[in-house]
Amino acid sequence: MLSEYLPVVIQLLIAIGFAAFVLIVTHILGPKRYDPIKHDTYECGVDYYGNAQRKFAIKFYIISVLFVLFDVEVIFLYPWAINLVDLGWQGFWGMFVFLGILTFAILFAWKKGALEWE
Amino acid sequence: MIKIAFIILSLISIFSALMVISRKNPVASVLWLVFHFFGIAGLYVLLGAHFLAAVQIIVYAGAIMVLFLFVVMMLNLNLVNNEKRGKIIGKSIGAVVSGLVLVLFTYSIRTTKWNELFFNQVTDQEWGTAVKLGSLLFSNWLVPFQIVGILLFAAVIGVVALMKRKITRKVENGIVITQEEDVA
Amino acid sequence: MNSTIDILDQVNANLPTIILLSFALLMLLIDLFLPKRNHLFRSLLAIGSLCIVYLVVKLLLQEKTVYTYFFSLDSFSYFFHILFITVLVFTFLLSGPYFERTKIKFPETSLLLFFSTAGAMIMISANDLIVMFLGLELMSICLYVLAGMLRKRVQSNEGALKYFLLGAFSSGFLLYGITLFYGITGSTNYSEVNQWISQTSNKLSLTFWIGAGLILIGFFFKFASVPFHFWSPDAYEGAPTPITAFFSATPKAAAFGTFIKILIVAFPLVVSDFELILKIIAIATMGIGNFVALQQKSVKRMLAYSSISHAGYLMVALVVKSNLGYSSILLYLIVYSVTNLGAFTIAYLVNRKNEGSYSYEDYNGLATKYPVLAMFMALFMISLAGIPPTGGFFVKYYIFYSALKADQLLLAILMALFSAISVYYYLKVIVHMYMKPLPDSYETIKSDTHVTMGLIFSSLIIIIIGVAPSFWLTLTNRSVSNILINP
């Protein structure tokens, strides 16, 4: 069972290795020319001001919380989908009710205007 | 082999957890936390909880960390000020208590005779896969599963009730005026 | 676990919860698609919930009991279902003027109230620690949101945040305890845990005790008993007042009910090992709750601390661990919930200034201007203090009696002592109402018919229980002794 994870590990190692390799190689081979303008943050020719981490409006937060909630909902679809044939009608209606409840949820959020971008 | 994987993964988890609490930049902490979640997902795989590992990466490392970043940015925390951190007495009490808890847990886990307990009877190597979990969840646990749906519904209502403001726009003399109708 | 579990049985075991939730969804649709009339909406809610109470009582009278692996529908869960929905009816009846004054979104609030009630009902009927935890989370998540409904008030935000953080913390403790239990016993079902304990009773490992301790700590947080009570006064003060009344009723009743069920079904063999810790915490809770309540300048905060001390009295009955103790807890919960709902309602009616004050001075001369309102408040205060003609006296007496009967002399004496202290701060309200002169400028108190009805009903319940306490005690005793244990 665990040996099935070998490709995952190999892929991770290759990804990390490639990133490290490219970084190191550019560091060694690339020419180094320093000047103050090059170290400046590039903002389309406009001088930058303030901090990069700015306050976000709360509307982003609503969307992302709703995303997490429906993400959790979707996660439950995976074990359901691969078992659908074995589960029969009971599993089908079970998921139907579950999704029905969450349809009410999305209906609620929609009608209350939580999905509108103001 | 499993032992080596366990050691590597737990080292990753512990190291990244230490990095999370020691970074001064909260955004860096959050990114280390993503790394930590990957280590934990690997530990879940070693325990045989394959579906849980996938959930850990998809929900936690994916969705919830985005939420964390939003919160960090919404609060506009930049660098944590060193002087404002807790006093040395508070810190040492915390350290002593958590050390005692660690000792207690280690002792209790070492003294429990786990091989006499039910884990020995689990012979099915695939009990943590999505197939096994799904067949249990949608047969025996079907009704408790619906409670999860209601729980998510309640959370949606809570989000909308707490965060939604009613904003009305009207145009006066060619200028758009936004009005925030805020209750309570 | 048996390989197949009949889904239909499980649905039947949850019938009251399902009826409640379907009604909540119906109200959601009405709110979303029909024009808003808050007053009508509220009456509809109250009437609908009353119908649900009727349906549940009807089910109870048919003696329809169902036992499944995850849920059971027995007289114990019927009792709590009826209590929770009654609290809901009262909350809808009594909250009207407050929501109009503060302009809190009412439809969302009512839905959250429905869902948290459903969570409490699931908690009570659960036969399994995981299912119980799901119900607990459903209840608490709604409560965290409800505590912060007054979004523009800093105190409200603070209270809600404290409640949320400490509540999440306590849920974590509880869940960790459940995990350790699962690791040791191989099951989360109450009866199976009990079976496992009976097989290995003489060599329980340290891990078992840590698990049990963590579960206890989780519940102590929910009771707001003393080392774990810090969230409660702030959350109570920050929440909208009718919601505070709901806080002091449903979650507390749910936590105590579930705890009793776990003690009876899962831990009957180890319950005497918890005696010492329960005893210490009960004494600390009674003491600190009462002494801090003495010093409060705000009536709302006083009621918050008094609810801590009441949790202490209830824990005395937990220490006793006899059926008499448990059934007096059930009776206490009815009286206490109803009284608190009424008291908080009058508190917000009388407090016409800003949301932060709730001072005792507002009550000056209330009896001359609004004699009926003052009479209701006096009745509620007398009942909370435990003075004879009311239900509050008898329930306290039963707990006292059960403690004496179980040879817990120290606890009984301390309980009597602390409730004697509590009389001071309850009577202070009455003194302000009846003996202080009316201030020159006096704003009128805005009430409506719903509130009047609610106050009349709640005082009737208090008086009825005060008149025939033994009849009610036999009823609750029946509920406790008929918990279905793996038939």
The answer on B117 and B162 residing in a single domain is: no
Confirm whether C1 is domain-assigned. Answer: no
Instruction: Indicate if the pLDDT at residue C396 is higher than 50.
Output: yes
Nearest CA to CA, how far is A84 from chain B (Å)?
9
Note the pLDDT of residue C136.
Answer: 94
User: What band does C3 get if pLDDT is binned at 50, 70 and 90?
Assistant: very low
Is residue B29 located within the same domain as residue B94? Answer: yes
* B38 lies in the same domain as B101: yes
Residue numbers of the domain that contains B172:
143-184
Quick one: B42 and B79 in the same domain? yes
d(CA C209, CA B108): 9
User: What's the whole-number average pLDDT of chain A?
Assistant: 83
Same domain, B22 and B72: yes
What distances in angstroms separate CA C465 from CA A87, B30, C421, one per listed residue? 51, 56, 24
User: What span, in angstroms and rounded, lies between the C-alpha atoms of C416 and C312?
Assistant: 12
What is the Cα Rg of chain C in Å? 22
pLDDT of the residue at A23: 93
Q: Which residue has the higher pLDDT, C39 or C193?
A: C193
Q: C414 falls in which pLDDT band (50, 70, 90)?
A: very high
ipTM of the complex in this document: 0.90
Helix or strand (DSSP H, E) at B169: strand B166-172
Task: Please tell me the distance in Å from A27's CA to the nearest CA on chain B.
Answer: 23
Containing C369, the helix (H) or strand (E) segment is helix C366-369
Q: Cα(B174)–Cα(B167) distance, rounded to whole angstroms?
A: 18
The percentage of residues in chain B with a pLDDT greater than 90, rounded to a whole number, is: 23
Q: Which domain holds residue C188?
A: 7-481
In total, how many domains does chain C have?
A: 1
Q: Is the pLDDT of residue C263 over 60?
A: yes
Residue A53 has pLDDT above 70, yes or no: no
Number of domains in chain B: 2
The A residues from 3 to 32 touching B (CB cutoff 8 Å) are 5
Cα–Cα distance between C335 and C386 in angstroms, integer? 11
CA distance C271 to chain B (A): 21
Do B156 and B135 belong together in one domain? no
- Residue C148: its chain B contacts at CB < 8 A? 162
pLDDT at A6 exceeding the cut of 70: yes
Choose among C290, C260, C392: nearest CA to C334.
Answer: C392
Q: What is the mean pLDDT of residues C205-222?
A: 90
* Weakest mean pLDDT among B8-22, B110-124, C4-18, C285-299: B110-124
Cβ neighbour number for residue C189 with a 10 Å cutoff: 23
d(CA A48, CA C439): 62
pLDDT band for A19, please (50, 70, 90 cuts).
Answer: very high
Is pTM, for the whole model, over 0.80? yes
Q: Is the pLDDT of residue B184 over 60?
A: no
- Interhelix angle C190-199/C154-185, nearest 10 degrees: 50
Backbone angles phi, psi at C359, to 5 degrees: -85, 160
Report the distance separating Cα C452 and Cα B152, nearest Å: 36
Distance CA B57, CA B42 (A): 10
Q: What is the mean pLDDT of residues C375-398?
A: 89
CB atoms within 10 A of CB C219: 22
**Contact criterion met (CB below 8 Å) for C322 and C403:** no
Does the pLDDT of residue C226 top 90, yes or no?
no
CB C64 within 8 A of CB C73: yes
What subunits touch chain B, counting only 3 or more CB pairs under 8 A?
Answer: A, C
Question: Does B163 share its domain with B129?
Answer: no
**Residues B93 and B154 grouped into a single domain:** no
pLDDT attached to residue C38: 66
Cβ C326 vs Cβ C260: under 8 Å: yes
Provide the pLDDT for residue C150: 84
B137 and B151 belong to one structural domain = no
Write the CA distances from C230 to A45, C104, C277, integer angstroms. Answer: 54, 26, 19
Do A104 and C32 make contact, defined as CB atoms within 8 angstroms? no
- DSSP-derived 3-state class of residue C151: coil
User: Are residues B22 and B95 located together in one domain of the fold?
Assistant: yes
Query: Which token pair is A11?
Result: 């892929």
Residue C391: predicted pLDDT: 84
Cα distance between residue C218 and residue C173, in whole Å? 6
Please check whether residue C367 lies inside any domain of the structure: yes
Nearest to C310 by CA among C338, C328, C290, C296: C290
Neighbour tally for B51: CB within 10 Å: 19
Task: Of C99, C107, C444, give the one whose Cα is nearest residue C240.
Answer: C99
Cβ–Cβ contact A103 with B under 8 A: no
The answer to whether C150 and C238 are in contact (CB under 8 A) is: yes
**What would the mean pLDDT of C171-181 be, rounded to a whole number?**
91
Cα distance between residue C77 and residue B144, in whole Å: 17
pLDDT in tens, C317-355: 998 888 888 999 999 999 999 999 999 999 888 887 766
Contacts of A18 (CB under 8 A, 6+ apart): none
> Residues in chain B, how many?
184
Q: Which residue has the higher pLDDT, B168 or A15?
A: A15
For each of the domains in chain A, give its residue range(s) and CATH number, in order of start. 2-111 (1.20.58.1610)
pLDDT average, residue stretch B168-173: 70
For residue C378, what are the CA distances in angstroms to A78, C214, C229, C242, C347?
Answer: 59, 41, 28, 19, 12
Claim to verify: residue B180 and residue B91 sit in the same structural domain: no
Per-residue pLDDT tens over the stretch C447-461: 788 888 889 999 999
Give the residue on C whose Cα is nearest the Cα of A104: C25
pLDDT at C339: 93
Amino acid type, C317: A
> Integer distance in angstroms from the first to the last C-alpha of chain B?
60
Same-domain check for residues B106 and B122: yes
Domain assignment present for residue C49? The answer is: yes
Does C234 fall in a domain? yes
* CATH number of the domain within which B31 lies: 1.20.120.1200
